[in-house]
Amino acid sequence: MHEESTLGFFLSGHPLDSVRHELQHLCSRQDLTTIQSTNSNGTTNTVAGIVKRVRNSETRSGKRLTRILLEDEHGGFEFAIFDDSGKIPEFEIGEIAIAFFKVQKEKGSDELNVRTSRMCSISERRCEKHAEIEIDVDQSSSNNTFVRDLREVLMDYRFAGCTVRVNVQRHGCLGRFKLGEEWRVNPTASLMERLYQTFGIQSVRITY
Protein backbone atom coordinates (compact mmCIF):
# COMPACT_ATOMS: atom_id res chain seq x y z
CA MET A 1 0.00 0.00 0.00
CA HIS A 2 2.82 2.39 0.84
CA GLU A 3 4.45 1.74 -2.54
CA GLU A 4 1.18 2.50 -4.39
CA SER A 5 0.63 5.71 -2.43
CA THR A 6 4.21 6.84 -2.97
CA LEU A 7 3.86 6.24 -6.72
CA GLY A 8 0.66 8.26 -6.70
CA PHE A 9 2.46 11.14 -4.98
CA PHE A 10 5.25 10.94 -7.58
CA LEU A 11 2.74 11.28 -10.40
CA SER A 12 0.38 13.87 -8.93
CA GLY A 13 2.39 15.63 -6.23
CA HIS A 14 2.00 15.34 -2.46
CA PRO A 15 -0.05 17.75 -0.31
CA LEU A 16 3.14 18.50 1.64
CA ASP A 17 4.78 19.93 -1.50
CA SER A 18 2.94 23.22 -1.05
CA VAL A 19 4.47 23.72 2.41
CA ARG A 20 7.79 21.96 1.88
CA HIS A 21 9.73 25.21 2.36
CA GLU A 22 8.13 25.62 5.80
CA LEU A 23 8.82 22.16 7.19
CA GLN A 24 12.41 22.97 8.11
CA HIS A 25 10.93 25.41 10.63
CA LEU A 26 7.99 23.23 11.71
CA CYS A 27 9.49 19.73 11.94
CA SER A 28 12.58 18.23 13.52
CA ARG A 29 12.37 15.37 10.99
CA GLN A 30 11.06 15.83 7.44
CA ASP A 31 11.23 12.19 6.30
CA LEU A 32 8.96 9.72 8.09
CA THR A 33 10.97 6.74 6.84
CA THR A 34 13.95 7.80 8.98
CA ILE A 35 12.07 7.79 12.29
CA GLN A 36 12.74 4.13 13.03
CA SER A 37 16.49 4.85 13.00
CA THR A 38 16.22 7.40 15.82
CA ASN A 39 17.77 6.61 19.18
CA SER A 40 15.58 5.32 22.01
CA ASN A 41 16.85 7.97 24.40
CA GLY A 42 13.65 9.86 25.09
CA THR A 43 14.21 12.44 22.36
CA THR A 44 10.99 13.94 21.03
CA ASN A 45 10.64 14.61 17.31
CA THR A 46 8.00 16.64 15.51
CA VAL A 47 6.81 15.07 12.25
CA ALA A 48 4.17 15.92 9.67
CA GLY A 49 2.08 13.98 7.20
CA ILE A 50 -1.37 12.97 6.04
CA VAL A 51 -3.37 10.64 8.30
CA LYS A 52 -4.15 7.60 6.15
CA ARG A 53 -5.52 5.15 8.72
CA VAL A 54 -6.62 5.09 12.35
CA ARG A 55 -7.16 1.91 14.38
CA ASN A 56 -8.49 1.91 17.94
CA SER A 57 -8.12 -0.84 20.53
CA GLU A 58 -7.55 -1.30 24.27
CA THR A 59 -4.53 -2.38 26.26
CA ARG A 60 -4.72 -5.15 28.86
CA SER A 61 -5.16 -2.50 31.53
CA GLY A 62 -8.18 -1.11 29.70
CA LYS A 63 -6.59 2.06 28.34
CA ARG A 64 -7.37 3.17 24.83
CA LEU A 65 -4.67 2.55 22.23
CA THR A 66 -4.80 4.38 18.90
CA ARG A 67 -2.57 3.37 16.00
CA ILE A 68 -2.09 5.99 13.31
CA LEU A 69 -0.63 5.56 9.84
CA LEU A 70 0.95 8.85 8.85
CA GLU A 71 2.22 9.29 5.31
CA ASP A 72 4.48 11.73 3.49
CA GLU A 73 5.98 11.65 0.00
CA HIS A 74 8.71 9.24 1.15
CA GLY A 75 6.34 6.62 2.51
CA GLY A 76 4.36 5.88 5.64
CA PHE A 77 4.94 5.07 9.28
CA GLU A 78 2.51 3.66 11.84
CA PHE A 79 2.89 4.68 15.45
CA ALA A 80 0.87 4.23 18.61
CA ILE A 81 -0.71 6.71 20.99
CA PHE A 82 -1.43 5.39 24.48
CA ASP A 83 -4.33 7.31 25.98
CA ASP A 84 -3.34 8.34 29.50
CA SER A 85 -5.61 11.37 29.58
CA GLY A 86 -8.74 10.54 27.60
CA LYS A 87 -8.02 13.48 25.28
CA ILE A 88 -6.94 11.80 22.05
CA PRO A 89 -8.45 13.91 19.27
CA GLU A 90 -10.49 12.70 16.35
CA PHE A 91 -8.62 12.45 13.07
CA GLU A 92 -9.67 13.25 9.53
CA ILE A 93 -8.59 10.40 7.27
CA GLY A 94 -7.58 10.79 3.65
CA GLU A 95 -8.03 14.56 3.75
CA ILE A 96 -5.62 17.14 2.41
CA ALA A 97 -5.29 18.56 5.94
CA ILE A 98 -1.74 18.17 7.23
CA ALA A 99 -1.30 16.89 10.79
CA PHE A 100 1.71 17.36 13.07
CA PHE A 101 2.67 14.94 15.85
CA LYS A 102 5.26 14.91 18.60
CA VAL A 103 6.67 11.37 18.61
CA GLN A 104 9.08 9.54 20.86
CA LYS A 105 10.68 6.14 20.37
CA GLU A 106 10.78 4.24 23.62
CA LYS A 107 13.82 2.34 24.78
CA GLY A 108 13.76 -1.29 23.74
CA SER A 109 10.79 -0.81 21.44
CA ASP A 110 10.66 -1.77 17.76
CA GLU A 111 7.77 0.60 17.14
CA LEU A 112 7.23 4.26 17.77
CA ASN A 113 5.17 4.68 20.93
CA VAL A 114 3.74 8.09 21.72
CA ARG A 115 2.80 8.71 25.35
CA THR A 116 0.93 11.90 24.54
CA SER A 117 -2.11 12.91 22.57
CA ARG A 118 -0.29 16.00 21.27
CA MET A 119 -1.16 16.70 17.68
CA CYS A 120 -2.02 19.86 15.83
CA SER A 121 -2.94 21.33 12.47
CA ILE A 122 -0.55 23.31 10.31
CA SER A 123 -2.19 26.59 11.36
CA GLU A 124 -1.63 25.76 15.05
CA ARG A 125 1.96 24.74 14.37
CA ARG A 126 2.60 27.96 12.44
CA CYS A 127 1.39 29.99 15.41
CA GLU A 128 3.52 27.97 17.83
CA LYS A 129 6.60 28.78 15.73
CA HIS A 130 5.69 32.49 15.48
CA ALA A 131 5.11 32.52 11.75
CA GLU A 132 4.22 35.78 10.02
CA ILE A 133 2.30 36.40 6.81
CA GLU A 134 3.94 38.95 4.52
CA ILE A 135 2.08 40.62 1.65
CA ASP A 136 3.71 42.80 -1.00
CA VAL A 137 1.72 45.57 -2.64
CA ASP A 138 2.78 48.04 -5.32
CA GLN A 139 0.73 51.21 -4.92
CA SER A 140 2.42 52.80 -7.91
CA SER A 141 -0.14 50.95 -10.03
CA SER A 142 -3.71 52.06 -10.59
CA ASN A 143 -5.12 49.44 -8.18
CA ASN A 144 -6.34 51.33 -5.10
CA THR A 145 -8.52 48.58 -3.62
CA PHE A 146 -5.78 46.84 -1.60
CA VAL A 147 -6.96 47.91 1.86
CA ARG A 148 -10.56 46.94 1.14
CA ASP A 149 -9.55 43.61 -0.41
CA LEU A 150 -7.22 42.77 2.48
CA ARG A 151 -9.87 43.59 5.06
CA GLU A 152 -12.41 41.36 3.32
CA VAL A 153 -10.01 38.42 3.14
CA LEU A 154 -8.75 38.65 6.74
CA MET A 155 -12.09 39.38 8.43
CA ASP A 156 -13.13 35.75 8.96
CA TYR A 157 -9.71 34.72 10.35
CA ARG A 158 -9.09 37.47 12.93
CA PHE A 159 -8.19 37.31 16.62
CA ALA A 160 -5.73 34.42 16.37
CA GLY A 161 -1.96 34.05 16.66
CA CYS A 162 -0.29 34.99 13.37
CA THR A 163 1.02 38.49 12.64
CA VAL A 164 0.37 40.07 9.23
CA ARG A 165 2.91 42.43 7.68
CA VAL A 166 2.41 44.53 4.56
CA ASN A 167 5.30 45.72 2.39
CA VAL A 168 4.20 48.74 0.37
CA GLN A 169 6.15 49.80 -2.70
CA ARG A 170 5.34 53.28 -3.97
CA HIS A 171 7.32 55.30 -6.50
CA GLY A 172 10.59 53.58 -5.63
CA CYS A 173 10.12 53.78 -1.86
CA LEU A 174 9.42 50.79 0.40
CA GLY A 175 7.41 50.93 3.61
CA ARG A 176 6.86 47.98 5.97
CA PHE A 177 3.80 47.91 8.21
CA LYS A 178 2.68 45.47 10.90
CA LEU A 179 -1.08 45.15 11.35
CA GLY A 180 -2.51 45.59 14.85
CA GLU A 181 -3.23 42.84 17.36
CA GLU A 182 -6.88 42.69 16.32
CA TRP A 183 -5.69 41.62 12.87
CA ARG A 184 -3.61 38.67 14.02
CA VAL A 185 -5.07 35.77 12.04
CA ASN A 186 -5.47 32.01 11.95
CA PRO A 187 -3.05 30.98 9.14
CA THR A 188 -5.13 28.14 7.72
CA ALA A 189 -4.78 26.63 4.26
CA SER A 190 -8.04 28.31 3.24
CA LEU A 191 -6.78 31.76 4.28
CA MET A 192 -3.52 31.31 2.39
CA GLU A 193 -5.42 30.19 -0.71
CA ARG A 194 -7.63 33.28 -0.57
CA LEU A 195 -4.60 35.53 -0.18
CA TYR A 196 -2.89 33.88 -3.14
CA GLN A 197 -5.98 34.29 -5.29
CA THR A 198 -6.50 37.92 -4.29
CA PHE A 199 -2.95 39.30 -4.34
CA GLY A 200 -0.97 36.74 -6.35
CA ILE A 201 1.12 33.80 -5.19
CA GLN A 202 4.35 35.76 -5.74
CA SER A 203 3.19 38.54 -3.41
CA VAL A 204 2.21 36.41 -0.39
CA ARG A 205 4.47 34.28 1.79
CA ILE A 206 4.91 32.89 5.29
CA THR A 207 8.13 33.77 7.10
CA TYR A 208 9.70 32.62 10.37
Asked if 89 and 55 count as a contact pair (C-beta separation under 8 A), the reply is: no
Residue positions counted in the chain: 208
Ranges of CATH 2.40.50.140 domains, the chain: 2-125
Sequence-distant (≥ 6) Cβ neighbours of residue 139 within 8 angstroms: 146, 168, 169, 170
Pairwise pLDDT comparison (12 vs 180), residue with the higher score:
180
Q: What's the mean pLDDT in 50-73?
A: 84
Check: CB of residue 72 under 8 Å from CB of residue 50: yes
pTM score, whole prediction: 0.80
Would you say residue 2 has pLDDT above 70? no
Whether residue 96 has pLDDT greater than 70: no
What are the phi and psi torsion angles at 156 (to 5°)? -80, -5
Residue 75 has pLDDT above 60, yes or no: yes
CATH, range 2-125: 2.40.50.140
What confidence tens digit (pLDDT) does each residue in 4-61 have?
454 554 445 677 888 889 999 999 988 888 877 766 667 788 999 988 888 888 888 8
pLDDT confidence tier of residue 185, bands split at 50, 70 and 90: very high
Confidence (pLDDT) at 114 = 59
Banded model confidence at residue 110, pLDDT cuts 50, 70, 90: low
Nearest to 73 by CA among 21, 133, 32, 119: 32
Per-residue pLDDT at 172 exceeds 80? yes
